[in-house]
Structure formats: C-alpha cells, structure tokens
Structure 1
Amino acid sequence: MKTRILKAWFSVFAAGLFLVGTSLFAQTPDQSTPDGLIKSVVSDVMTSVKSDPEIQKGNIPRVVDLVDKKIVPYTDMRRTTEMAMGPNWKKATPEQQTQLVSEFRTLLIRTYSGALSQLRDQTVQYKALRASPDDQEVVVKTVVLGRGDPVPLDYRMEKTPTGWKVYDMNIMGVWLVEAYRNQFANQISQNGIEGLIKFLQERNKQLATAKPSN
C-alpha cells in the first residue's frame, strides 16, 4: 500500500515539476525566487523531454540521466536524508551519512524516474507565493491538472548559499520524508545503520536490473 502511495506521489510530482502550460514561460522566470526557480527547471526539463524520443519511449537510463543533471542540482538530498533518518542521523558516522545520502538519492531516482516518460498532457497552476524577502524557508503551492480531480502538490524549499533548493514535497497530505521515515527506522532497529545502507544498496541493484514496467 505504501509503495503504491509513493509511486502515485512521484507520478504527480513529476507531472507538476516537468509539464506545465507554455504560457507560464512567456517571460524567463526569475531563478532567484523559489517559485521562479521551479518554473525555470520545469521549462528546461520539458524541452528536453519533448526533444528526446528515447525518453518518451521509456528509456530509463536516459530518464535517470535527465533527472540527475537537471533536477538533482536543485534539491538538498542531504537534508532530505537527514529528515528521513530522524534521530538516527546523528548516530551515523560521517562516512555512513555520505553513503546514506548517495544511496537514498539513487533509490528515489531509480524508483520513480519512469513516471517522467509517461507524462502527457498534465498542466500546473501556481498559487501566489506567500513569503517575505527575508524568509529562509518557504512552501511553493501548486495544483496539478490533468485526468481526474485536481491534485494539490506543495514544494518545501530552503534558501542556501547556492540558491533555493527543494528538500521535501507534499502530495495530498503525504510528505516524502514522512513516507520513508518509518521504513528507515524499522531497518535500523533490526539491523543498525549498516543494515539500512545494505538494504538501500540491494534495492538499488534490483532496480538497476529490473525491466521497466508500463
């Protein structure tokens, strides 16, 4: 059940992040603002998807490469991993923390990248950003429009020395970090930090050799 929820979450996330109405880009978005950054990334990725037949056919390595180059740089995976780990983060050594961030990042990309190749006619409406110029953290709220009912999708973002970055997202009341926190805690309680790392490594190996499903 949890896997289905997460896959549904990422499918909508991908729709929200990758496909929006072209009218939003009549002017170049201001990347110095959180909502402007998301719109800019959307425009770039959308162009890449439309110009790459292999991605449209579901070529997962090409999709993974696209996400890795055009999406990952605008996320804070270290913070995402730290939040998913909860109190257990401080129990991990610096080397283990590095491994956890790397494996979790790979897991998210490989598990959900297939959603990108399945996107078709979804569009997104952006709600007015309620934030002051001094805010260091904001939530960018959007609504994904497509088949079925409109779906609210929120991006939790932070201001870093290198610009705004996404570190968590909410789809219909489910935050990404919360969705993984219990799973990580259970693995650690049974097998320790190293056990969680091995679990992620094994899962990533399975996903790397699995055939894409349509």
Structure 2
Amino acid sequence: MKSCLLLPLAVLAAAPYAYSQQAPDKVVRATIDGVMSAIHTDPAARSGDANRIYQIVEQKFLPSTDFMRTTQYAVGNDTWAKASPAQRDALFKEFQTLLAHTYATQLMQIRGQNTQFKYPPMAPLPASATDAVVRTEVTTGGDTMLIDYRVHKVEAGWKIYDVNMMGAWMIVVYRQQFAAQLQRGGIDGLIKFLAAHNQANA
C-alpha cells in the first residue's frame, strides 16, 4: 500500500516562484510540467543519475510542498503538541527526506516512458478558500491513474501537502504506519525509525 500511494509524488515538481499566485489547479499543472521538463532536458537525469534527480527534487519539488503540515497531520495533532521544537524539526526533516527520496526513485521509473497528464476543469473557488483538491489523470505505460492533490493557501501561494490515489490519502496511510512506531518507541523511536530508513535508502 505504502509504495503504491507514494507514486503520485513522482508526478509532482515545482517552479513555485513563478506560479505561486495562480489558481491551485494552475499551480499543480505548472509543477508537473516543470519537473518533467527538467528531467527530459537534463542529460544526467534523463540517463537515470540518481544524485542529479534528487537534486532536481530538492530544487523544484520541495519548495512547492508544505511537508511540515504533512508531518503534523501524519503523526497526529496530539503527538505534535507533545513534541518539543527539536523533535518536531527532526520529524519534519526525516519525513521530508523519506518523501523526497521516494519521489526521486519514482521519477527514475517514469522518466523514459510516454507519460501523459490531463487536468479536468476545476470549479472556481470562493475568494476566502484556503484549502482545495486538484484532480488529475496520469497515463503511464497504457495505465491511467486518477490522482488528487490537496493544497492549501499560504502567504506565498498554494502548497501541496497531501495526495490521493486509489481512494486513499497519503497522510491517512502514514498516520496508520506511524501510530505503530509511536506506540513502540514514542516520538524519538519514530525519528530513529525514519532516520534508519533514510540511511538504508540513501
């Protein structure tokens, strides 16, 4: 379930600075087009250089996300409230690294395929809206996936913080997995678990 749900991260990327004030669906579309263009035009990334692809993730994907919010929701508000500032920072950094490495790995898998993206029209949002869901269709190797991106509005614009594929939201899936780790080892145990996972997959 986990690896399957992380696939949507492979079709995200960012050129956030130019698009941050646009409507959320426009931001998501520019994000997707931006990362795929970066992969296709970079010789090293196009050939499958993992380090280069990860650099592209850091430069173009992470600025488009709010993984601090993702981390808070994934561990749960109660746990987040109990965590010290240092623990929160460590959880965020390790979780973001996990997602970034997963994203880069998925990019390597789809970089040479004829991946196509469709963007169904999005109804206009009220001016006061701060949260929205952007729907997309992704076709890779003849298979079509319906992928939803949950975004929220901050001062800099719209940021992606959750992904839904096959009816399950990423945060919900991770919350279930993190709950088991938190029960066994508490906040520090979860941090160590994530750090060990990242080290093994670096």
Task: Return the TM-score normalized by structure 2.
Answer: 0.88
Match for residue 132 of structure 2? 138
Cα deviation code 1:5-63 (max 9, x no counterpart): 33233334424x36xxxxxxxxx978521111112222222221111222122221111
Match for residue 116 of structure 1? 107
The one-letter code of the counterpart of 2:102 is T
After the TM superposition, which residues 45-84 of structure 1 pair with which residues of structure 2 at under 5 Å, given as runs? 45-84=35-74
Change in Cα spacing, 1:97 to 1:30, as seen in structure 2 (3 Å) is closer
The one-letter code of the counterpart of 1:9 is L
Q: Distance in 2 between matches of 1:30 and 1:100?
A: 26
After the TM superposition, which residues 1-214 of structure 1 pair with which residues of structure 2 at under 5 Å, given as runs? 5-15=1-11, 17=12, 31-86=21-76, 87-119=78-110, 120-130=113-123, 131-208=125-202
The one-letter code of the counterpart of 2:120 is K
Counting matched residue pairs gives 194
Q: Distance in 2 between matches of 1:94 and 1:12?
A: 30
SS in 2 for 1:134: coil
Task: Return the TM-score normalized by structure 1.
Answer: 0.84
Change in Cα spacing, 1:148 to 1:51, as seen in structure 2 (3 Å) is closer
After TM superposition, give the deviation of residue 122 of structure 1 in Å: 1.3
Q: Distance in 2 between matches of 1:206 and 1:74?
A: 26
The one-letter code of the counterpart of 1:128 is P
Percent of paired sites with the same residue: 37
Unaligned runs of 5+ in 2: none
Cα deviation code 1:158-191 (max 9, x no counterpart): 0001110001010011111111111111111111
Q: Indicate if the aligned counterparts of 1:13 and 1:153 stay in contact, CA closer than 8 A.
A: no
